[in-house]
């Protein structure tokens, strides 16, 4: 069965620190990859997505992610976090035969102190 | 354009009862998916509807069912509620089923508490 692992459950950073959140998935076929963010009290919203092409994708609010096929990884990065980045981050995978169904990781809570 | 709306936002039910949750997708979106979010299991896919047909189903018991209407609005039903069904139920809509550019837009969820 497909699964998604997010390595860090809770990350605490100071403003201006760099961020990298790990995500690995288990599925041997073609996948689409996503990072979603859930700010306190708000809906899940899409940060960025990878379908094909350049494995380095850029999303909203200065976030980027790199797809490394050989490592089944799709890590999220941001060079300098802000207090407003405090949120829960979810990595998700969609397999080729699964329609629009997303398999989510358990999420990483990011706390940024000012 | 209005986002995905879900009603009701909060619901309290008793074990053994049944419940129906409603989702209105973004105008023009034809695919609706449902997810269950709990602290222990995280976000889990329930089912996907497209053009009034269930296209995909997650690993949930038959007590969980859904349907989609001709206007793409969707409902999900949970019968014989159990305490473990307490969760946030999220609906997501997308324009297409799966193309190179599809993305899902999530609603605010319905918080179901079973007592």
Tokens of A11: 């990350």
Is B110 at the interface with chain A, CB within 8 A?
no
| C-alpha of B67 from chain center | 10
* pLDDT tens sequence across B55-96: 889 999 999 999 999 999 999 999 999 999 999 999 999 887
| CA distance between the termini of chain B | 37
Measured distance CA(A62)–CA(A16) in Å, rounded: 13
* Cβ distance of B33 and A90 shorter than 8 Å: no
* Cβ distance of A94 and B98 shorter than 8 Å: yes
Chain A residues touching residue B105 (CB < 8 angstroms): 46
Measured distance CA(A31)–CA(A18) in Å, rounded: 27
* Cβ(B26)–Cβ(B2) below 8 Å: yes
* pLDDT tens sequence across A19-76: 999 999 998 788 899 999 999 989 999 999 998 889 999 999 999 999 999 999 999 9
A5 against A7, higher pLDDT: A5
């Amino acid at each position: 069965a497909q699964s998604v692992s997010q390595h860090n459950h809770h990350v605490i950073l100071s403003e201006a620190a760099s961020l990298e959140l790990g995500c690995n998935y288990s599925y041997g076929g073609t996948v689409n990859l996503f990072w979603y963010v859930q700010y306190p009290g708000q809906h899940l919203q899409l940060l960025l997505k990878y379908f094909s092409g350049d494995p380095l994708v850029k999303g909203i609010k200065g976030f980027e992610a790199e797809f490394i096929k050989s490592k089944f990884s799709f890590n999220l990065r941001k060079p300098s976090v802000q207090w407003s980045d405090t949120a829960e981050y979810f990595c998700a995978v969609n397999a080729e035969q699964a329609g629009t169904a997303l398999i989510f990781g358990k999420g990483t809570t990011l706390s940024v102190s000012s | 354009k209005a986002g995905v709306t879900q009603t009701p936002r909060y619901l309290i039910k008793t074990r053994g009862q049944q419940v129906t949750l409603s989702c209105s997708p973004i105008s023009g979106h034809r695919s609706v998916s449902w997810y269950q979010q709990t602290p222990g299991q995280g976000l889990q896919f329930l089912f996907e509807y497209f053009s009034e047909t269930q296209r995909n189903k997650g690993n949930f018991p038959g007590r969980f069912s859904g349907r989609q209407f001709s206007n793409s609005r969707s409902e999900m039903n949970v019968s014989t509620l159990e305490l473990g069904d307490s969760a946030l139920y999220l609906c997501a809509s997308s324009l297409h089923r799966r193309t190179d550019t599809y993305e899902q837009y999530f609603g605010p969820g319905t918080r179901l508490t079973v007592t």
